[in-house]
Amino acid sequence: MNRDESVAKNYLEKYYDNVKFEPDGNIPPDFLIENSIGVEVRRLNQQHYYANGETEGLEETAIPLCNKVKKVLSNYDAEAGGNNFWVGLCYERDKGKLDVSEKKIKEAIDAFHSQNEAIPYKYKIGENVLLEFIAKGSVTTHRYELGSEIDLDSGGWIANVCSDAIRHCIEEKEIKIMPYIARYDRWWLLLVDHMSYTKSEDQVDIVKCITKPSCFERIIIVNYDGTSKPIDSSIYLGR
């Protein structure tokens, strides 16, 4: 059971009876409740659409990239004299997926050294990834510390971004459950929100942009950390 499924399980057990995880094994549904309702679970996240038709959650490549940069930067111990630096990371997916090597990150640091550590200093570590040495930092735990991260594919008008993400989740999951839909009388889709949709003031406007699903009776959205009131989008969809 992954993190999102665990969040879903906590929610379902709070409000419903007879919650069973993967009642039929590693096929839909993810959960069965009240012995008759199949519940599919998915992360609600912003998608990037590549020219070849592939889609990918932004965090699927952003998190590994940031972790790789942090790993290389952590190899440099802080200097006692305070000659340490904050580093910024900027990236976008216009030229393909985010994929840089640790060698290129180290190359950027070496290039920064070779020009006498004048700041600000920018260095491309990939066709679509930029590392920038921004400012000196007296309180950094390493000689180089990642201080900012800019994903140029992230953000946008919240109603459009969120409604697009919800539609993507519905379409993806409808295809997945179709071979098994006759097994249960009703199907629900539970989305674990990684976009702060549950905290948005535009909830009604967002759902108005969504066509009623053909397979799912209800769409329930819960915040990933459980701090916000769950949203039952079926209310707005007229279910």
Range(s) of the domain holding residue 9:
3-46+156-237
Do 225 and 196 have their domain in common? yes
**Angle (CA) 191 192 195, round 5°:** 105
Q: Pick from 3, 1, 63, 25: which is nearest to 192 by CA?
A: 3
In this prediction the pTM is: 0.70
Q: What is the pLDDT along the chain (239 residues), one digit of tens a residue?
A: 899 999 999 999 988 989 999 999 999 999 999 999 999 999 998 877 777 777 777 788 888 999 999 999 999 998 877 789 999 999 998 766 688 999 999 999 999 999 999 999 999 999 899 999 999 887 788 999 999 998 887 766 667 778 888 889 999 999 999 999 999 999 999 999 888 765 666 666 676 777 778 899 988 888 887 665 666 665 445 44
Do 113 and 187 have their domain in common? no
Provide the token pair at 176: 């997945």
The residue among 98, 119, 151 that closes a domain is: 151
What is the count of structural domains for the chain?
2
Domain with residue 218: its CATH number is 3.40.1350
